[in-house]
Amino acid sequence: MQLLIIGGTRFLGRHLVEAALARGHSVTLFNRGQSNPGLYAQTTGVETINGDREKDLDKLAGRHWDTVIDTCGYLPRVVGLSARALADQVRRYVFISSLSVYAETGRIGIDEQDPVSKLVDGNMEEVTGESYGPLKALCEKAVQNVFAGRALIIRPGLIVGPYDPTDRFTYWPVRVARGGEVLAPEGPQVPVQIIDVRDLAEFILILAERQAGEIYNVTGPDYVLTLGTLLETCKQISGSDANFNWGSVEFLSKNKLEPWSDLPVWVPDTPEDAGFSRVNISKALRMGLTFHTLENTVRDTLAWAQTRPQEYELRAGLEANREAQVLAVLRKS
């Protein structure tokens, strides 16, 4: 299969390239060359075309691919440009969207038929926590409008694993490995859903090879994973002496700690967000979605994180001093 990947040198794109090559496909990358330039300069089977898709899509003119995988589309106007430019050059357009598109996160068992969020201002192009999901939904529509019957929409949950630039999952293996008193949110029974980037990449390619269309929720695992199990697994893998101190939703809110950023992976298990970590993935499972074990994901994420410079500062989670301050308050409460 001849693949065109928009992006391809950071997180998901990087794993897509590796998986595609392992499966015998050839890959063309189209990106600005700003992230990890030259990463595949010496790699057989990978061609790189540098360009900005808002103004350089003509660099792809006259070429044809079986499938394009758009890993980094956030604005419907820009995604629409790509879709229209490639309409006669690729057979299938795979767009990487997000579970954040759904309008009602309070419903347990959200499936692909549930309604998506809409923007009040249809011309808005600022990506914020509030606009991210609705913008992704409009990006999906931009692709579907051009590639009717030839569009594959992937809606991942929290993507985790090696090379994650956000640190939204990496924080926990790294923090637990450091040991000592660890601030943990809400309670060990809170459900969480994650998808190992390698499992996501493999599943995308499986669907592309089958020339699948439609929409797929892609997260995991295929059992109820709790935050307590996740943290205990981090402790087991690292062999640390971590002791978890659970702060209630009310306590954490009072101390101005934010879900997802200060305490990543976690979303409060409240009626408003009860469905956020209980998304229905049965459709993807029927199509062959499989999973690394949690132990494997934690081990490989930690091993990768330990290769970064010692002075590297995590982009998500609590700084040590802030965590210590909150723990001191928690012990007194």
Residues 6+ apart with CB under 8 A from 243: 180, 181, 182
Residue 122 has pLDDT above 80, yes or no: no
pLDDT given for residue 121 in this prediction: 80
- Are 2-160+194-220 and 171-193+222-273+293-332 the same fold in CATH? no
Considering the chain, what percentage of its residues have pLDDT values greater than 90?
96
The span from the CA of 135 to the CA of 79, in Å, is 11
Per-residue pLDDT band at 258 (split at 50, 70, 90): very high
The half-sphere exposure of 304 on its side-chain side, counting CA atoms within 13 A, is 17
**Could you give the dihedral angle defined by the CA atoms of residues 128, 131, 136 and 137, in that order, rounded to the nearest 10 degrees?**
170
pLDDT given for residue 300 in this prediction: 98
Mean pLDDT score, 107-114: 97
pLDDT mean across residues, the chain: 97
Residue 66 φ then ψ, to 5°: -70, -45
266-282: pLDDT as tens digits: 999 999 999 999 999 99
pLDDT given for residue 288 in this prediction: 97
Residue 25, sorted as left (phi over 0), alpha (psi -120 to 50) or beta, turns out to be: beta
Residue 219 has pLDDT above 80, yes or no: yes
Closest CA to 13 of 214, 169, 213, 165: 165
pLDDT given for residue 123 in this prediction: 80
User: Topology of domain 171-193+222-273+293-332, per CATH?
Assistant: UDP-galactose 4-epimerase; domain 1 (3.90.25)
Sign of the alpha-carbon dihedral angle for 58, 32, 13, 95: negative
CATH 3.40.50.720 fits 2-160+194-220, yes or no: yes
3-state SS class at 277: coil
Residue 7 has pLDDT above 80, yes or no: yes
Q: What letter does residue 272 receive in the DSSP assignment? A: G
Mean pLDDT score, 309-331: 97
Residue 247, sorted as left (phi over 0), alpha (psi -120 to 50) or beta, turns out to be: beta
16-54: pLDDT as tens digits: 999 999 999 999 999 998 899 889 989 999 999 999 999
Contact at 8 Å (CB) between 77 and 119?
Answer: no
| Sequence spans of domains, the chain | 2-160+194-220, 171-193+222-273+293-332
287-311: pLDDT as tens digits: 999 999 999 999 999 999 999 999 9
Burial class (CB in 10 A: 0-12, 13-18, 19+), 24: exposed
**Encoded tokens for 15:** 């794993």
Residue 190 has pLDDT above 80, yes or no: yes
Residue 153 has pLDDT above 90, yes or no: yes
